[in-house]
Each structure stands twice: as structure tokens, then as C-alpha cells.
């Protein structure tokens, strides 16, 4: 896969116009656009249609987590929209993830792939043990959830770049790993802590890297995207 097809831009904006401006200027550098809860809740499916009308792919980052039959119907709906990737919380369990995989089958000739979100990078050991009463270490729990996602029929996971190697070891080479938390050397870290550069993440085995602000907040987003593509290649 080309560097361009591995690069996914996070569209973390509030309006259709702001998203459109980014899509129009970056569609020839970036293969995929990530639409999350912020933009989707404000704008709705028309943003997915717009990205697809430009010939680009969509990662619909809505992180479903509900009873299995509801997730199955939601997965059917997003698969019908033709998104390339969408995701669910692996903490929703095996039946729920099987529901998500089944929802893709329900849609006619769907090309969608579904990813599990393991442990959010905003959670630490204290959140796991005190709030969730999970006794495993974060690392062990990430591996447990990644394997559960795989055995429930999911196509891959969203993970921190630091978890790529371990997940590869446990889940094999065909399991997709999509990673945010990417910062080129020259970019501001912002609120991301456990980061890797685009080159490091690709070398570690990421299939897709998700980047937002280093591109969207750059003085020239197109030049920033091109620099990242060069690094990745
Ligand atoms: O601007 P930035 O490059 O930090 O954007 C990263 C994107 O990936 C954001 O949309 C963020 O919500 C998302 N993300 C993340 N860390 C996770 C999961 C998702 O940064 N663990």
C-alpha cells in the first residue's frame, strides 16, 4: 500500500465548511479521512458522502458500545454507507463484537472493516484498577482485548504506536493496526504523550496512521502532509 493510502487525516472540526476546506485541499495527499463523534454529530452522513464523492476513503470513528443487536444494526448502517473502516469498543465483549462483524455481512457487498478499540490511551493503570476493577496491567489487558477482537471476527484494532509490536506478535500479520498518537519531529506534541514519529510507526508495523493537528494546524497543511508522506515512504 502507498504511503498516501496509509495516511488518515483526523477531521476534528465542527462544521461541514471547515471539513470541506480540509478535504478539498488535502484529498490528493491523504488517502483516508477520519470522521469522529464531534463532526458526525453536527453534520451527519453528508460528510461521508462528500469524502466519498472526492474518491477518498472514510474511517468512521464512532466507537460503538451497546447491546449486540444494536451494534449489529449500527454496523449494518455504516457498512451500507460504504465506509472503509469503523470501530467498536472491545470492552463491549465477544457477543457485541460478533454482532459488529455480522452487521457487515448483513450489508450487501460491503467492503467495510471493523476495528476494536482496546484501552483508550487516556486511561492508565489507575483507571483500570480503581474505576473498572480490572486487575491486569494495561499492557496485558490491551493484548487480551486485541485477541478477543480477533477471535470475535474483527479485522483489527486501534492502538497506541507503542503497542504495535506486541499486538503483531499475538494477532498476526493480517490483523490491521491503526494508530493515532503520531507526531513528526518538527510538530508540536499538543496533548499527545506516548507518541511516535510517522516513520517509527510504519517501521513498527502500523497499517494506517491517524494524524490531525500536525497537518490541520500547520502553516501550510499540504506541505505538512507531503513532508509526512516522504517520512513514511
Ligand atoms: O490531532 P491529533 O493528531 O492528536 O489527532 C489524533 C486523532 O486520533 C484524534 O481524532 C483523536 O481523538 C484520535 N485518537 C487518539 N488517541 C486514541 C484514540 C483516538 O488520539 N487513543
pLDDT in tens, the chain (233 residues): 899 999 999 999 999 999 999 999 999 999 999 999 999 999 999 999 999 999 999 999 999 999 999 999 999 999 999 999 999 999 999 999 999 999 999 998 889 999 999 999 888 899 999 999 999 999 999 999 999 999 999 999 999 999 999 999 999 999 999 999 999 999 988 887 778 999 999 999 999 999 999 999 999 999 999 999 999 99
pLDDT score recorded for residue 64: 98
pLDDT score recorded for residue 121: 84
Calculate how far, in angstroms, residue 181's C-alpha sits from the geometric centre of ligand 1. Answer: 6
pLDDT score recorded for residue 171: 98
Rounded CA-CA distance 98/93 in Å is 9
pLDDT score recorded for residue 130: 95
Question: Counting atoms of ligand 1 from 1, which one is nearest the CA of 191?
Answer: 4
Please check whether residue 158 is in contact with residue 134, taking contact to mean a CB–CB distance below 8 angstroms.
Answer: no
Phi first, then psi: give them for residue 207, nearest 5 degrees: -85, -40
pLDDT score recorded for residue 20: 98
Helix, strand, coil abundance in the chain, percent, nearest 5:
50, 15, 35
How does DSSP assign 176-202, residue by residue? EEEE--B--TTS--TT--S-B-HHHHH
pLDDT score recorded for residue 193: 78
Tally Cβ neighbours within 10 Å of residue 83.
26
Question: Counting atoms of ligand 1 from 1, which one is nearest the CA of 159?
Answer: 21
pLDDT score recorded for residue 109: 83
The model carries a pTM of 0.96
pLDDT score recorded for residue 168: 97
Q: Measured between alpha carbons, how far is residue 210 from residues 102, 185, 204 in Å? A: 26, 16, 15
* 63 belongs to the catalytic site: yes
pLDDT score recorded for residue 100: 98
Please check whether residue 173 is in contact with residue 151, taking contact to mean a CB–CB distance below 8 angstroms.
Answer: no
pLDDT score recorded for residue 221: 97
218 lines ligand 1 (CB under 6 A): no
Amino acid at each position: 500500500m502507498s504511503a498516501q493510502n496509509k495516511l488518515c487525516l483526523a477531521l476534528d472540526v465542527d462544521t461541514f465548511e471547515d471539513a470541506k476546506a480540509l478535504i478539498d485541499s488535502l484529498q490528493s495527499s491523504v488517502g483516508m479521512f477520519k470522521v469522529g463523534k464531534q463532526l458526525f454529530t453536527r453534520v451527519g452522513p453528508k460528510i461521508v458522502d462528500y469524502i466519498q464523492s472526492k474518491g477518498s476513503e472514510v474511517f468512521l470513528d464512532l466507537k460503538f458500545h451497546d447491546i449486540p443487536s444494536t451494534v449489529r444494526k449500527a454496523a449494518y448502517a455504516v457498512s451500507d454507507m460504504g465506509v472503509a473502516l469503523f470501530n467498536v469498543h472491545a470492552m463491549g465483549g465477544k457477543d457485541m463484537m460478533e454482532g459488529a462483524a455480522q452487521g457487515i455481512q448483513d450489508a450487501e457487498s460491503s467492503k467495510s472493516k471493523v476495528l476494536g478499540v482496546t484501552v483508550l490511551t487516556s486511561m492508565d493503570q489507575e483507571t483500570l484498577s480503581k474505576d473498572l476493577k480490572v486487575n491486569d496491567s494495561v499492557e496485558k489487558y490491551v493484548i487480551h482485548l486485541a485477541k478477543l477482537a480477533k477471535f470475535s471476527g474483527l479485522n483489527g484494532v486501534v492502538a497506541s504506536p507503542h503497542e504495535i509490536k506486541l499486538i503483531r506478535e499475538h494477532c498476526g500479520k493480517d490483523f490491521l493496526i491503526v494508530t493515532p498518537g503520531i507526531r513528526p519531529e518538527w510538530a508540536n506534541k499538543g496533548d499527545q504523550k506516548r507518541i511516535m514519529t510517522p516513520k517509527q510507526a510504519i517501521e513498527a508495523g502500523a497499517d494506517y496512521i491517524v494524524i490531525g493537528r500536525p497537518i490541520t494546524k500547520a502553516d501550510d497543511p499540504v506541505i505538512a502532509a507531503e513532508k509526512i508522506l516522504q517520512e513514511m515512504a
